Amino acid sequence: MRQYSRRSILRLGAALAAGFGLDRQYGRAIAAGLEKLVTQEARVLWLQGMNCTGCSVSLLNSTDPGPLDLLTDVLSMAYHSTLSAAEGKVASGVVDKVIGAGGYYLVLEGAIPLKMPKACKVNGIPLTTILQTACRNAKAIIAAGTCAAFGGIPAAEGNPTGAGSLKEFMDKEGIPTKGRLINCPGCPMHPEELVGTLAYVLAKGLPELDPELLTPALFYGHSVHDNCPRFHYWQKHEYAEKFGDPGCLFKLGCLGPLSHTNCPQRQWNGGVNWCIRAGSPCLGCTSKEFAKRRDFPFYRKGEQVHAVAYAEQDRGSKLQ
Ligand code: SF4
Ligand code: SF4
């Protein structure tokens, strides 16, 4: 196992903060939290609900630290539904033991079948049964990805299982969320947002959250639109009419005005690229409505709904 020196942890904290466009004080706070994770002072229990495992894959796509360092050195992962070697009774024994001991940080990936508990089982036990105690005994809880945060794709219109968010589940069960639950949406969630949020929580407690969305303002305070490199086209009403054209992608269905996250600053895959730079409209993957409604499809060429209400505020004129 690689040993992290204090210097390398500080560098890591600073690099994470810089990637988010945050100033040094946040870098120091994130470094202090990472130190607790590295020294095994804090354990993470990662459970999965109704999901495609995309957020776990995203975690493995982290670049600094890389996946191996992340899993073996940085995150003190007590259990992860996909990545842990244990299975069957051994796995459920580990989960029971961690939950029984308490004091861990719970990460949930995936939605919860609120109306059909048997639709999602972990080691043969309904996820909803496990979450009753897992949520109560956790020090803090992170809903990783849009499915856990808002329902996401499993909650798409029709939704026979009643798939919903962790917040909906906790409210239904009377489990307190205030000061404990943080949403880190994204389809998938960005690995650095998850590690950064966890580290911040360990160092300083809960960050400032959006009162409705429960997302950390540190990472989700601005819309993609606010910092978009194509914003100058938007201001001049210069729109791309087809893929590959220069111009604002709004008429090709861009939902950047409705998606709050920092893609323009930290991008994806270690800062290689991101949706809009690659010429694709933002699909609004961090938005509460993502993938849920039929009238909120991924691509909406020519439509003027949704984004207009927000966008008119900052531009003060109608779309031509
Ligand atoms: S609508 Fe989309 S492409 Fe246009 S400025 Fe906003 S985020 Fe960028
Ligand atoms: S640009 Fe939009 S769709 Fe792409 S990852 Fe960011 S929030 Fe999601």
CA of 191 to the centre of ligand 1 (A): 24
Q: Residue 79 and residue 77: Cα distance in Å, rounded?
A: 5
The number of beta carbons lying within 10 Å of the beta carbon of residue 58 is 23
Does 232 participate in catalysis according to the annotation?
Answer: no
What pLDDT sits at residue 79? 78
pLDDT at 76 exceeding the cut of 90: no
| Choice among 20-24, 119-123, 267-271 with the minimum mean pLDDT | 20-24
The mean pLDDT value for 192-203 works out to 86
Give the SS3 label for residue 183: strand
Answer yes or no: is pLDDT of 231 > 90: yes
- Average pLDDT on 263-275 reads 91
Q: Which of 233, 245, 254 to mutate to test the pocket of ligand 1 (most atoms within 8 A of CB)?
A: 254
**Can you tell me the mean pLDDT for 86-107?**
86
Q: Are 74 and 59 in contact (CB under 8 A)?
A: no
Q: Whose CA is nearest to atom 1 of ligand 2?
A: 282
Hunting for tokens 């998938």 — which residue is that? 188
Selected residue with higher pLDDT from 272 and 63: 272
- Section 3-32 average pLDDT: 67
With bands split at pLDDT 50, 70 and 90, how would you rate the model's confidence at 224? very high
Q: Decide if pLDDT at 184 tops 80.
A: yes
The tens digit of pLDDT for each residue in 131-156 reads 999 999 999 999 999 999 999 999 99
More confident residue, 252 or 230: 230
Known catalytic residue at 184: no
Helix axes 191-204, 6-19, angle to 10 degrees: 120
Average pLDDT over residues 105-116: 97
Is position 120 annotated as part of the catalytic site?
no
Q: Which of 271, 228, 278 is nearest to 250 (CA)?
A: 228
Banded pLDDT at 315 (limits 50, 70, 90)? very low
Provide the pLDDT for residue 85: 67
How confident is the model over 19-31, as pLDDT tens digits? 655 666 777 777 7
Mean pLDDT of 154-165: 96
The answer to whether the CB of 248 is under 6 A from ligand 1 is yes
**Which protein residue has the closest C-alpha to ligand 2 atom 6?**
263
- Domains in the chain and their CATH numbers? 6-218 (3.40.50.700), 222-320 (4.10.480.10)
Question: Average pLDDT of the chain?
Answer: 84
Rounded Cα–Cα distance for residues 258 and 261 (Å): 10
Active site includes 254?
yes
pLDDT value of position 78:
77
